[in-house]
Chain A
Amino acid sequence: MLLDARDLDYKALNDHLRSAQGDCSITGCCGQRFIGAGMSDKNISIEGVPGNALGAYLNGGTITVNANAQDAVGDTMNAGRIVVHGNIGDAAGYAMRGGKIFVKGNAGYRAGIHMKAYEDKIPVMVIGGTAGSFLGEYQAGGVIVVLGLHAKAEEIVGFFPCTGMHGGKMFLRSDCRNVVFPDQVTVRPAGETDLEELREYVAEYCALFGEDLGGVLASPFTVVTPDTKNPYKQMYVAN
């Protein structure tokens, strides 16, 4: 079904989406929020810029954005896939606990804040460009990959990555020589098994955006995980 969003507010647009049978294409999108919120039964492709909280609570299907996306993409999503052929705003994947987000370009601040995992649910976010400050803040589970492709910035991530990280895993396509991480995480070069795991995520990214898998994987990767030997304790009071 083809939906022209030009004269629709977010409520009307989402009502149309919910009642539509099968996959939907949206044209003329400009800032309508909550697109695809809680949906699980269809694929949605979007022309124009969708509003905040795109695919919040998403529970299946694929949302494809052929432009930039705004803040809080995939907020608390549970399953499905969001593909953005541009950049995304702040707090992408906020508290997501399943599904995948693929961003061709850069992510804003706080990407993957409080991502988590539950039993067989392991969320994955792959950022093709660079990520802003506070990447993976309070990360509790899942996988964040930052590739830094075609990046002009000096560093692949901004300030204070992994602050409060206590679960999950992060892959950064860089030796991270000048990146300062908190004491409570372990930072090491990616090994054989890490690269095997990584290949799966990067292959999907390369297939979506037409990058060369071998070329992308040829660079050194850094892996960050919480340091269970140095947990967060007595951070505020000594009692």
Chain B
Amino acid sequence: MKIEGQVRIPSGCAIAAVISRDGNRMPGATIIKAMKPMHDRSNGLGGGFAGYGIYPEYRDFYALHMFFDERATRKSCETFLKERFEIVKSEIMPTRKIPAITDEPILWRYFVAPLKSVLRDLQLDEKEFVARTVMKINTEMKGAYVFSSGKNMGTFKAVGFPEDVGAFYRLEEYEGYSWTAHGRYPTNTPGWWGGAHPFTLLDWSIVHNGEISSYDANRRFIEMFGYKCTLQTDTEVITYMMDYLLRVKGLTLSEAASVIAAPFWSTIQGKADLEEKNKLTYLRTIFSSLLITGPFSIVLGFNGGLMALNDRLKLRSMVVGEKGDRVFIASEEAAIRTMEPSAERVWAPAGGEPVIIQVKDGAY
């Protein structure tokens, strides 16, 4: 059987997300429930979640969630990590044996801080160093894969239906101020857990419903900047594009949205606001290789917020709703109603119109 990276797998999928603007923490059970009415959007070949604010006791440490194929790989990877990081905690990830989830790799997590001396020698800032280390492990260390590498957040993913994946990882035992979720419907055979969503780098996580047609153009561009796409999965390249635009280039969230879901030239031409028109022209020109074509609806998670975005033609569905301090996003309204039956202001954002929700300063 071919595994991720050897075969390209287009997907259908379901996404959902919830965030508390006040930073109130919600149990993982909330987001698991949201995936149930969308069960038929997935086919059991991938499910996953990202939770933010789930590790307050280790908030200053990078939480590395890892898959290993065997004990020896873990041992050699730990040797590698110890040369670069202070490891304050190393443990097997808590899981629950259930019949629906089988063939799990070795699941381990580490809470780490980069060694100051190493950072000084390499003249790198902390995030760049962690990002490069993740790339190095994922491309060079056979049998080891980092699937989550942010602070005070974590990704949980597997081959299975999302509700089973949530039960497997005991998500009801975690509490986060925001959660994202994904159910996958690949039309080919995925062999491996790494191909499930969310895809992450540092605290960026992406869940994606769609199938982008610009994958190779985007990949060729982004790989010039040190990113390595190992899985032939379009969502992976979107994650690295967002890291590049937001962290490396310092764009705002809405600017990044105008790059990846740029308005049509005819729409830009019709803009009455000259400043906006010039800005959109500039972004589309400078980052033309980062335009994403083809259908997508994504939720980008990061420390302190979420951004939801549709492709400019809106070839996938996405609905947003609110209740009190909470905002809900999902492929279907039914998922929002499952989380909050009395959700208000339920609406469908236009294609290319980013919905950005941020937690109040100091509340996360």
Contact = CB atoms under 8 A, between A and B. Distances in A.
A-B complex is real? yes
Interface of A: 9-10, 30-33, 48-49, 51-52, 68, 70-71, 87, 89-90, 108-109, 132-134, 158-159, 180
A31 B339 CA distance: 13
25 contacts: A9-B39, A30-B37, A30-B334, A31-B37, A31-B334, A49-B333, A49-B334, A49-B337, A51-B37, A68-B346, A70-B317, A71-B317, A71-B332, A87-B347, A87-B348, A89-B333, A89-B348, A90-B314, A90-B348, A108-B348, A109-B313, A132-B348, A133-B314, A133-B350, A180-B266
Contacts of B348: 87, 89-90, 108, 132
Interface of B: 37-40, 264, 266-267, 270, 313-314, 317, 319, 332-335, 337-338, 346-348, 350-351
A89 B39 CA distance: 19
A10 to B, nearest CB: 7
Contacts of B347: 87
Contacts of A51: 37, 332, 334
Given A70-B317, A89-B317, A133-B314, A31 B350 contact: no
A186 to B, nearest CB: 21
Nearest to B263: A159
B332 A31 contact: yes
A134 B347 CA distance: 18
B350 A30 contact: no
**Nearest 4 CB-CB pairings of A with B:** A31-B334, A31-B37, A109-B314, A30-B334
A48 B350 CA distance: 24
Contacts of A70: 317, 332-334
Contacts of A10: 40
A89 B318 CA distance: 9
Q: Is the interface of A mostly helix, strand, loop or mixed?
A: loop
B169 to A, nearest CB: 24
Contact of A30 (B40, B314, B338, B351): B338
Given A49-B337, A89-B317, A132 B350 contact: yes
A83 B66 CA distance: 51
B317 A90 contact: yes
Given A10-B40, A49-B333, 18 more contacts: A30-B37, A30-B334, A31-B334, A33-B40, A52-B332, A70-B317, A71-B317, A87-B346, A89-B317, A89-B319, A89-B348, A90-B314, A90-B348, A108-B317, A108-B348, A134-B313, A159-B267, A180-B270
Contacts of B335: 31
Contacts of A33: 40
Contacts of A68: 333, 346
A68 B346 CA distance: 9
Nearest to A108: B348
Contacts of B40: 10, 33
B37 A133 contact: no
Contacts of B314: 90, 108-109, 132-133
Contacts of A32: 37
Candidate in B38, B317, B333 with the most chain A CB atoms within 10 angstroms = B333
A21 B290 CA distance: 56
Contacts of B319: 89
Contacts of A90: 314, 317, 348
Contacts of A30: 37, 334, 337-338
Most buried by B among A32, A89, A134: A89
Contacts of A71: 317, 332
Contacts of A158: 350
Contacts of A31: 37-38, 332-335, 337-338
Contacts of B313: 109, 133-134
A31 B317 CA distance: 14
Contacts of B351: 109, 133
A52 B337 CA distance: 15
A149 B338 CA distance: 30
Contacts of A109: 313-314, 351
A90 B333 CA distance: 12
A114 B59 CA distance: 53
A108 B332 CA distance: 13
B351 to A, nearest CB: 7
A51 B266 CA distance: 35
Contacts of A87: 346-348
A134 B335 CA distance: 26
B333 to A, nearest CB: 5
Contacts of A52: 332
A48 B337 contact: yes
Contacts of B37: 30-32, 51
A133 B266 CA distance: 14
A87 B317 CA distance: 14
B152 to A, nearest CB: 32
Contacts of A180: 266, 270
B91 to A, nearest CB: 37
